[in-house]
Structure 1
Amino acid sequence: MKLKKLILVNWGHLRSGEYPFGNMTLLTGPTGSGKSTILDAVQTVMTAVYQGIFSYNPGQEESSQGSRNGKSKRTIWSYVTGLEDNLFARPDGAHGYVVAVFAPDEGDKAEPFTAIIGAAAKIEGTGSKRQPVQERLSLVLVDGSECSFEDFAIQSERGMEVVPVEDIFRKLDIKYKEVINHRDNKREYLCQLYGRFRGMRAVSFPEASAAAKAWSQSIAVRPIGSVDELVKTQILEHDAEAQASQITEISRMMRNIHDLRKVGERLKNNIAKLGVIAEKLDGSTRAAEEIRMLSLYKARNSLQIDESAERDAELAVETAQEALETEVHKGELLVTAQANTAQAQVDLRARMQGVPALVQKTNIVQRADQAKIDSRTALNSLITGVVAAEKLIAVSRQVMATEFPHEVRALDDVASRISAAYGGCAGLSGGVNSELLRQLQQADSMDYGALRSSARLLQGADAQFGKLHAAFADGGGFVGVLHSQHALVNNAKQNAAIEEAKLTNRKKQLAGGLSDAPPRVYVSLTALQDGLPEAQAQLLCDLVEPQAGEWQRVIEGFMEDARFHVVVTPDFELSALEYCRTHRLPLKIIQGAMCLERTAAISLHPDSIVHELKSEHPVAHAYLHEQFGPVLKVAEEQQLKRTARGLTLQGSASSERKIFVINDLAGVKLVFGKEAKRVALERAKEEYQVVIEFIRKKDELLKTLEELLAIATSVTLPSFEQAETLERAAIALETCEVELSRLDLTELDGYADADKKLTEEFTELQLKISGSATHVGELRQVLKQHATQITQLKQYREKKIAEVDAERSRLSNFCLANQALSMRVMEEQIGTWIENHEWDYATLNIRINELSAESALAIADVYGLLVEYNTGAAADERLEATLRVPRVAAELEDYAQNLTLRSKVQEQLAAQKGIGIVKNLKEVTDSEQTFTNVFTGQFCMSVRESVDNGIKSLKALNNELAQLKFGTDKFAIDWSEWIPEYKEYYDFFVAAAQMSANEGGSLFADDTLSESHIKVRDRLRDILLQTDIESSKKEVLRIADYRNYRRYEIWKHSDIGSKIALSEWGTGSGGQLETPAYIIRAAVVTNRLKHFEKGMNLKFIVNDESFSKMDERRSLDVLKFLRDGLGMQFICAMPSRGAGPLKPEFTREWNFSRVESTGGGEVHYITEADERELRPDRLQELWEAHRKMKRTQAQIAFEESEAQ
């Protein structure tokens, strides 16, 4: 494409109109006449006055668009308002246009188009401070058409009427077919403008801006300066803006990884600190629980010791009473023996006196003595029998009066037998009792009538009491039934105790934040967690939270046992499987790695049931999506026919090509979410209380049964066999008494020796009687002491029972506060301690003091640990708790506060260890993978490819330069020298890209990179993590700029074989040095304009202040090089004085000059342009004749001077 014509409206001081251009156009005129003004107009179209690209009047070295030297600079607004010094040709503001019509070159298959820059400006300020400012800018392209001056302004009698900028698009759109309005979007305008030069709709902005900048910089040829910098900035293309955004993203990703790792470290530190806090709190709570148990042990043991002492005292009383009765009986026998001895002595003395009735008396006395012995023996036997009968009657009455619970209704039948047998025995209490018999036994004189009547009442009672005793003692009797019922009740209690243990564990499980999964599952899970802690095994149900709504129950019913599958760290899935197989654990391990891989490709249906569930755990989240994402919620059962996996709210479902109903939907135990756990815990508490109440009632019933067993087994069969013996003895005693009263004892006879012996016997018996009396006194004193002890113990019993109740209540409150405790189990443990005499009082008190100190120390430690933990924790991870070091050990308030804090600690542990650390690990892994992919696949490979491709572009340019010869000289670019620092980066990028291509290793793993590459990687990481983000970005941009990786040079080769680097060439003349500047910059701009690539391109350049240091020959060579070598359309601006020799090379000339004018506002002149069509052949003839004449004149002058 080439520039056909330029249309100017209100541009500087040039007349408004059309300016056509030829292939070689010369702009001449005196300095300041307007040559640069028209070049700036062309530059306006070519750069859209984009900041950093355009540079008005580039031939003026004192000022530029970006300079800050205080000199005024030309702007599009100053051109539109006609600014000259501080005067304005259009002081009221104006609308102006620069319009370029481009036409295809020969051989280009394209249509012409028009590029339009419309600008409206106004004047602001007063006096010398007036400045032209923007009002409106309009950028328009018209495809397939060549616009004319009349499209923008009309000359009339009133002068020139300019179309307002805001109306130009509408006007052109009416007239032409394809009009594109870019408004003031300079980027889009440039992209489409340079796209049309390439025969395309648009090119990228980096390409368009690079081409526009190169074209603009080629207008004024300045010294090359740094060759290295020239190649970097004007030959090699570099999209710094695109790289900046890429580097910002890489830096963000690196910082994100760094931050995630910090989060991971913080979570690990948090978990460690939480573990210590939990351990301290557990130690404090365990100490408090043990103190409460020891306190109850102390109270119960004290009460039990007193009860044992009371029982021992009562047993001692019973023993002493029996000993007393024995001793009294012994004394009585001694008294009887003494009386017999005395009587024998009397009888002896009587015989001695020769009394005839002595023999009779002796017989009678002997019979009476025997009768007395028989009566006492019979009384002892009958007293025992009556006592047994009285106890049997009392027990029978108690049994008959007892209302048995419905659980032991079998006792009612045997109680009826007892009641039936009891009727025949009840009369015994009306006539004979053990106390009456004891009184008869202990009386000084016997009541023979009472003895006979008592004996007669007891005769025949054996049969009745035998029946009553049989109701107790037979195999099917009361005692046997009691034993069987006791066994049944105890078995029920043991079953309830097992259930209570399960409920205790269930409460502990739920109170610890776990779900209501089956116990066998948690037992197996605990074994796996203990055996393989690094797998971080958790149940799926503990990681899922349902959304609010009514779908939870039916979803959980559909998922069934899948809720209890185990989630582990993906790297430990096979290890967990092997552990379960080895230890026979019935667990199913989720294939987390596979789920994570597949989840990315899953797009959930809006009706998926997974929308009703949420999980922060990556594996759990992926498993739900992969396994249950396809399950859809449907409104009607009819839809299930066409739904592969579906679910209705009523519990109907489809899956695996079958339709079914979820069994017992109402009975589905919910396990997802905190609310389900709360409800389950409340339900477990209620069930636990029911079981505890059941056990309590069974304990009471067992106690009743055991009491009944104790009394029932204590009854013996009464025996009244001695009743007849007692009656005969009573009759014999009464007969002997009558016979003795009838005897005449006048005849006595005795012997002195016998009398003496009897006297000695009497004395001996007297001594024994005295000893027996003393022993009786001692026994009665013992009885008195024991009675006093029993009285005292009974007085303290109520107080100690109250202490036991109080301690039991305290321990029970602990159990209510801590659902993991079981009151029954703890009391059983205390009972075991008491049975084994575990503690003595001294050791017990020491232990309680030790536990109190441990608890206080643990809470004091928790204070410091909490402060330390909260300092490093995030806001939602902090633990707020009010703790105090307990003044009194094991107070319920302190215990409850500890439990509350422990629960919060457990929640944080579950969140951070169970979910947070796993999620962080996945995020770090994913981020590292993403970073590695982006860094290696985009950044590293991009820089490496840019370095390589940059060389390719230089090679291509060298190939073109090799075809271009300027006189005897050729030029070539050299890039063989690496910059050492950048060579290290390049080698690292190659290694990183290779690692990425091999899909192995990690950029962050030291074992996959060499030592030198690790140093470079760490250096890059440190740069990316710098706190000064702008400095970091600037440094990475420097590294990412592939142009910096080599040192560049341009060599000049001559036909004579010389070779010199331009950076070192300082011996040539000014013209010689300016020549490569034209050649290299022409190569630069043609390179930017894709001149050497296939397809259409722009073949149009301009030059200002051309050939100022060159001679005629070199200037002509440059022109021929541009025109013939590059095939470029060339517009050249130079002063008129230097243009003559070059005119034969041009086909058109515009000559500019200033003329006075009265219609120029504050400026009193206007620039006129004189257009001339040039004939290069005639000009060539004229210049040859002129040269010949000049040579002749010079020769004549030389000869004349020589002749003189």
Structure 2
Amino acid sequence: MQTQTPMNRKSATRLLLVQWSRFQNVSVKLEGSTLFTGINGSGKSTILDAVTYLITGNTQFNKAAKDRDRTVLGYVRGDTKSNGTARYLRSGEVISYVAMEFDDPVAGAPLVVGVCIESPNETAKPASSWFILPETTLDQINFARREGNMLWITPKNELTVRGERLKGNAFLGRERGTEQVIRALGLRCGVSKYRGKLLKMMAFHPENNIDQFIQECVLEPGKIESLSELREQRQQFERLQDVYVRLSEGKSQLEVIEKRSQDYEKKKRTLHIRELLLSYQDLQVLEQEEKEVQSRKSVLEEQLKELEKRQTELEEAQKTAQERLRIAENSAVFQDMKETMDSLQRQIDAAAVESRVWEQRLKELVALEQKLTELGILLRRDLPLETEEQKALSRLSGTEMDTETKISVFQKYGEKVDQQDTLYEQNKIHLQDQIRAREKEMAEITEKIRKLEANCLVFPPEIERARKLIRQELKNQGIDTEVFIFAELVQEVVDPEWRRAVETFLGRKRFYLIVDGAYCGKAMRVLKEKKLYSANVVLTDKLPESEVKKGSAAEILKIPNVYARRYANSLLNGIHLCEDLDELHDYPKGGLTRDGMLAKSYAVSPMDLSGTELCLGEDAIRLQLEQTKEERRGKETLQRKDKDALARILDCRRQIVGIDWDPGHYEFSAAESLEKSKKTKRKLESDLQAIRDNPDFTAVLKEQEAAREQAKDANAAVTENSLKMGKCGNSIEGYSKELTGIRESIALKKRDYEEKCDLHLELKTPMLEEYEKLRKKKDGALKVLTQRSVDNSKSDVKECEKLLESAQLEYCRLSELDINQRGVGYIAFYREEYRNLAHVKIEEARQRLSEQAEKLESAFMNDFVAEIDESVRDAKREMEAINQELKQIPFGSDTYRFVMKERPDRSIFFRICRKLQDYMSSAEAYMNSGRDDEEMEHDIKEFMNIILSEEDEQEYTDYRRYFSYDMEIVSRQGDQEIVANLSKKQGSASNGEKQTPYFIILAASLLQCYPKNSCCARLAFIDEAFSALSRERIEQMVKYFEENDFQVFYAAPPEKISSIGAFIQSTVSLVCTGRYTNAVEGLVKE
């Protein structure tokens, strides 16, 4: 059958198989479409495999029969699949050729394409080399020659064309060779795509499921390679998430530890207060006991005074009795001398009384001299005495000076002492105020040291209060977020030499509050509503992203937290660190030197660095502790100095107050007066004695006896009173000793109390307040606390220690730390651990997790979603192109059209893609945008989770599964068009009706590779052709292919010759001769 070759088709005219399967050296003439027929095993599929291998490098041989055992090696060696040594038709080194000759009607010249296959042995992979020879026929190439019964195959390096040997560069590898082959045949599609479409038609199997058929036979499989990378990114994300979760759990456990540490510290503080209170209470009890004993002693002293007064009266009575006795004992001779003797006696008595008075007054002057001497020594620094003045003051009881001089000296010294006492009073008030104020400061410093030693960074109390209040208010609104102080987010000061200058420059900005940008507005409202005048909240949501400027003050601060880093950059990027004044002069807008010279806004000034308390960096606690301890030592020195000064002033004032400075209260002439009085008394006594010594006087015995009895009674009364006085004196002495013991106990207890106060100075004020409260509750009782209460506090502290250790042990297990790192001694360690974790590690983990989440979403959107979206759009374009072809090539009165519908269970993907259209259908453009579409963000996360949790990877990586497919059949019946879906006709249609649309689908798909207005090969291969079609349907299909300029190679059994061969140009029968197969052109009748 002769037909004219279409001008838009490069037609295959000959096929040469040299040592390919059972074909030794077979050349087949091809005239248009060709039917290869023969019995099973004759090699029909082998020819199709050879041609597809030559044109596309296909190795999925005999795909129609799903025979996976056929290989290039098996074809070259002639694998018969039999057992034994005769399995292969060829042994040793084998060279095979598959070549085709094409006619190019446009060029008006033939074209040969071929492949040389070299197999060195039965195990090694054969090497294939493709070649393209324009303007050449197969006959012009020396593939093989026969010499008698021997067939000689030409090696590749000896292959010649018209006698000229081919050069080495004429042979190409599989990838480049097949690409050049299809280019030579006029095709512009990719080899892989072309191979897929050829194989789908060649291995056609009718399906009842049109959806599955279109997916598998029309559309190319999706090759989404990004899922594995996406899974790796997800695994990395999950690893980082695990780290973050573990750190978060650790942080939560550390917060439990901190809570229990605070409970312990509170209980410990309560214990210290109670111990201090008990000591203070004991001191108060002792002082009260002292007062009571002193009171009893004072009562006895009053009694003693009464007894002494009584003693005077009794002594007067005694004197009267003794006087009577004296008179009685005198004789009557002396009666006339009675008045003279009485007068003398009265004068003697008066002189004796006067002497005693002057003796007492003289004692007072001696005591005054002693006091003045002691006072002079005490006041020698503040009120030094001149030598003469000192000598005069020490002779007030003597007779060296006259009375007026003594009074003058005493008065002048008293005036100077009074002036000094006024100064002492002023200094006393000043020192007491100063000591009280410093004591309060030292209490605060001691409390600060306690916190620092417990590894708590100390910030201004008003800042801590504001932080706590803002966090609580946010928590009340259901927002659980941290409120940080900027200083605690600075992990390290890289260059400590600049620390003091930079911290002085930052000043109170170090204590500004940092909250998450999402809650900045709410924190502002809390600041306003609660009137937190001393706090500042950084507007973190408005801070611009910026890099650390090299050479700036920002460079020396290492800050993991994103917001704190931005804030530091905004404050310090404009401050250049300068080595000297010359460099500072070059940075007038912002510069700083180590010693605190600051240039800002074209002005320079020195900063006072001495008062700056360091609080930045992980070593801030150590530095603050050293600085605070040094401050406390300084204040302790000043306090001791002031207390010593106050004690001295009080001592001086006690001495001053202990002296009566009124000169009118002293008899400065007492020495002279005493001597004079004694002299008078002696003279009177001498005169009286002279009278008594007269022998003429005798005493009346009777009167003498009565007088003696009266004198005896008087003496007894005096003795009894004296005994009472002695007893009272002894009691007073006992109380004095008791007071001495009590005062010694008070001194010891006071020392113990003061030592405890010095140890816990910060607790003194709260202890005193607590003591007064308890006294009010107990009606002013001094004893308000028992040792049992202290013991109970100790038990509470021990219980807190146990709970603390339990929490610490749990953290050790969580973080795989040494379980021996527990106990109250490790409170500081766990606070450091919390600070490092909460401010550094968890922040770094959060950033890494955030970055990984961005990478994961970026990989998902930019790679996975973008690839699927691109594949979907390509598939839609291909379907539209096929539909355009189908519209132009009706099958009888029917036209066909593909229908693609989005699967409902993939709606989330299509929703994402539709929203991406607002970003030029670019996932990258969306990822770089503000991403403020909550629904879009939710869809992205949900779709990603769906994909990453799907066990069947192809379910979402194959773009074809995102649609359901069908084919609309439009039948023209008269003037009417009837539209039906192929899926709905599957059950009612005949086999031919079912298969016909599938062939049309495949043909339309293959036509996409053959440009309509270009001259190119238009090959198609159908293995086991039209097995279920009727003769009428076969004729329709063959005509359909021919009308659309296909050159089809059919492979079918002999029974199909009449139904297929009758409608095509040529038929080639394959005949088995022994172990080999030959081709017979034309119809062969058996």
Q: Could you say which TM-score interval applies, normalised by the shorter chain?
A: 0.7 to 0.9
Return the alpha-carbon distance in structure 2 between the equivalents of residues 44 and 642 of structure 1: 77
Q: Which of the numbers 642, 645, 670 marks the counterpart of 1:701?
A: 645
Return the alpha-carbon distance in structure 2 between the equivalents of residues 391 and 315 of structure 1: 27
Return the alpha-carbon distance in structure 2 between the equivalents of residues 101 and 611 of structure 1: 75
Q: Which of the numbers 1045, 1049, 1057 marks the counterpart of 1:1131?
A: 1049
What's the counterpart of residue 463 of structure 1? Answer: 407
Residues 1042, 648 of structure 1: alpha-carbon distance in 2 compared, 3 angstrom cutoff = farther
What's the counterpart of residue 543 of structure 1? Answer: 489
What's the counterpart of residue 1122 of structure 1? Answer: 1041
Residues 768, 1091 of structure 1: alpha-carbon distance in 2 compared, 3 angstrom cutoff = farther
Q: Deviations over 1:488-510 (max 9, x none)?
A: 55565456546535644654565
| Aligned-pair CA distance for 1:42 | 2.5
Q: Deviations over 1:991-1018 (max 9, x none)?
A: 9966997999xxxx9x9889xx99x999
Return the alpha-carbon distance in structure 1 between the equivalents of residues 402 and 167 of structure 2: 143
Return the alpha-carbon distance in structure 2 between the equivalents of residues 90 and 628 of structure 1: 84
Residues 588, 762 of structure 1: alpha-carbon distance in 2 compared, 3 angstrom cutoff = same
Kindly report which structure 2 residues correspond to 1:407-806, keeping only aligned pairs within 5 A, or say none.
412-414=381-383, 416-417=384-385, 421-427=389-395, 462-463=406-407, 466=410, 469-470=413-414, 473-475=417-419, 477=420, 479-487=421-429, 489-490=431-432, 493=435, 496-497=438-439, 500-501=442-443, 503-504=445-446, 507=449, 510-511=452-453, 536-546=482-492, 553=499, 556=502, 560-561=506-507, 563-580=510-527, 583=531, 585-595=533-543, 598-599=544-545, 613-624=557-568, 671-717=615-661, 719-721=666-668, 723=670, 725-743=673-691, 769=718, 772-790=721-739, 800=748
1:862 aligns with 2:804: yes
Q: Deviations over 1:794-831 (max 9, x none)?
A: 88689x46x955x877887xx6xxxxxxx433356667
1:1082 aligns with 2:1030: no
Residues 90, 31 of structure 1: alpha-carbon distance in 2 compared, 3 angstrom cutoff = same
Question: 2:584, 2:593 within 8 Å by CA — same for their partners in 1?
Answer: no
| Aligned-pair CA distance for 1:332 | 4.0
Question: 1:104, 1:112 within 8 Å by CA — same for their partners in 2?
Answer: yes
Q: What SS class does the counterpart of residue 63 from structure 2 fall into?
A: coil
| Aligned-pair CA distance for 1:789 | 2.6
Residues 482, 43 of structure 1: alpha-carbon distance in 2 compared, 3 angstrom cutoff = same
Between 97-106 and 982-991, report the one with greater CA deviation: 97-106
Return the alpha-carbon distance in structure 1 between the equivalents of residues 374 and 580 of structure 2: 75
Between 559-568 and 1094-1103, report the one with greater CA deviation: 1094-1103
| Aligned-pair CA distance for 1:1133 | 3.7
Residues 101, 650 of structure 1: alpha-carbon distance in 2 compared, 3 angstrom cutoff = farther
1:57 aligns with 2:5: no
What's the counterpart of residue 380 of structure 1? Answer: 360
| Aligned-pair CA distance for 1:1124 | 1.8
Q: What SS class does the counterpart of residue 537 from structure 2 fall into?
A: coil
The size of the alignment, in residue pairs, is 1032
1:162 aligns with 2:133: no
Q: Deviations over 1:208-239 (max 9, x none)?
A: 65553332121144333432321232234552
| Aligned-pair CA distance for 1:102 | 8.7
Return the alpha-carbon distance in structure 2 between the equivalents of residues 615 and 874 of structure 1: 24
Question: 2:100, 2:138 within 8 Å by CA — same for their partners in 1?
Answer: no
| Aligned-pair CA distance for 1:322 | 7.5
Question: 2:33, 2:1066 within 8 Å by CA — same for their partners in 1?
Answer: yes
What's the counterpart of residue 394 of structure 1? Answer: 374
Residues 945, 140 of structure 1: alpha-carbon distance in 2 compared, 3 angstrom cutoff = closer
| Aligned-pair CA distance for 1:57 | 1.9
Return the alpha-carbon distance in structure 2 between the equivalents of residues 664 and 794 of structure 1: 51
Return the alpha-carbon distance in structure 1 between the equivalents of residues 1034 and 658 of structure 2: 144
| Aligned-pair CA distance for 1:542 | 1.5
Return the alpha-carbon distance in structure 2 between the equivalents of residues 1169 and 730 of structure 1: 180
Return the alpha-carbon distance in structure 2 between the equivalents of residues 662 and 1097 of structure 1: 88
| Aligned-pair CA distance for 1:677 | 3.8
Q: Deviations over 1:16-57 (max 9, x none)?
A: 6998866534545665444432321222245544xxxx5312
Q: TM-score, normalised by structure 1?
A: 0.70
- Amino acid aligned to 1:162: P
| Aligned-pair CA distance for 1:776 | 0.6
Q: What SS class does the counterpart of residue 356 from structure 1 fall into?
A: helix
Q: Which of the numbers 752, 762, 767 marks the counterpart of 1:825?
A: 762
What's the counterpart of residue 125 of structure 2? Answer: 135
Q: What SS class does the counterpart of residue 674 from structure 1 fall into?
A: coil
Question: 1:7, 1:99 within 8 Å by CA — same for their partners in 2?
Answer: yes
Return the alpha-carbon distance in structure 2 between the equivalents of residues 102 and 489 of structure 1: 121
- Amino acid aligned to 2:800: A
Question: 2:196, 2:220 within 8 Å by CA — same for their partners in 1?
Answer: no
| Aligned-pair CA distance for 1:1082 | 2.0
Residues 758, 921 of structure 1: alpha-carbon distance in 2 compared, 3 angstrom cutoff = farther
What's the counterpart of residue 222 of structure 1? Answer: 205
Q: Deviations over 1:988-1045 (max 9, x none)?
A: 9649966997999xxxx9x9889xx99x9999798668xxx6xx33288269866465
Return the alpha-carbon distance in structure 1 between the equivalents of residues 246 and 302 of structure 2: 81
Q: Deviations over 1:581-610 (max 9, x none)?
A: 563534443332233xx53xx567787876
| Aligned-pair CA distance for 1:854 | 0.8
Residues 952, 834 of structure 1: alpha-carbon distance in 2 compared, 3 angstrom cutoff = closer
- Amino acid aligned to 1:617: N
Return the alpha-carbon distance in structure 2 between the equivalents of residues 631 and 390 of structure 1: 73
What's the counterpart of residue 922 of structure 2? Answer: none
What's the counterpart of residue 961 of structure 1? Answer: 886
Query: Please, which runs of 5 or more residues in structure 1 have no aligned partner?
Result: 66-72, 124-131, 166-170, 401-411, 433-453, 816-822, 884-896, 1157-1164, 1173-1178, 1187-1204
Q: What SS class does the counterpart of residue 368 from structure 1 fall into?
A: helix
Q: Deviations over 1:53-95 (max 9, x none)?
A: x531234x3x422xxxxxxx21122123332234224422546
Residues 345, 671 of structure 1: alpha-carbon distance in 2 compared, 3 angstrom cutoff = closer
What's the counterpart of residue 364 of structure 1? Answer: 344
Kindly report which structure 2 residues correspond to 1:278-427, keeping only aligned pairs within 5 A, or say none.
278-299=258-279, 302=282, 306=286, 324=304, 327-328=307-308, 330-340=310-320, 342-343=322-323, 355-400=335-380, 412-414=381-383, 416-417=384-385, 421-427=389-395
1:79 aligns with 2:62: no
Q: Deviations over 1:430-489 (max 9, x none)?
A: xx7xxxxxxxxxxxxxxxxxxxxx7899966843761585276321x3x33433444555
Q: Deviations over 1:832-890 (max 9, x none)?
A: 7789996866832121121012112222223433344455x445xx684555xxxxxxx
Kindly report which structure 2 residues correspond to 1:835-914, keeping only aligned pairs within 5 A, or say none.
843-870=785-812, 873-875=814-816, 880-883=819-822, 897-898=823-824, 900-914=825-839
Return the alpha-carbon distance in structure 2 between the equivalents of residues 587 and 418 of structure 1: 64
Question: 2:369, 2:395 within 8 Å by CA — same for their partners in 1?
Answer: no
- Amino acid aligned to 2:1041: L
Q: What SS class does the counterpart of residue 1101 from structure 1 fall into?
A: strand
| Aligned-pair CA distance for 1:1122 | 1.4
Between 789-798 and 329-338, report the one with greater CA deviation: 789-798
What's the counterpart of residue 129 of structure 1? Answer: none
Q: Deviations over 1:156-209 (max 9, x none)?
A: 9994453489xxxxx999646xx9867xxx7x9989988999976x86xxxx65
Question: 1:647, 1:654 within 8 Å by CA — same for their partners in 2?
Answer: yes
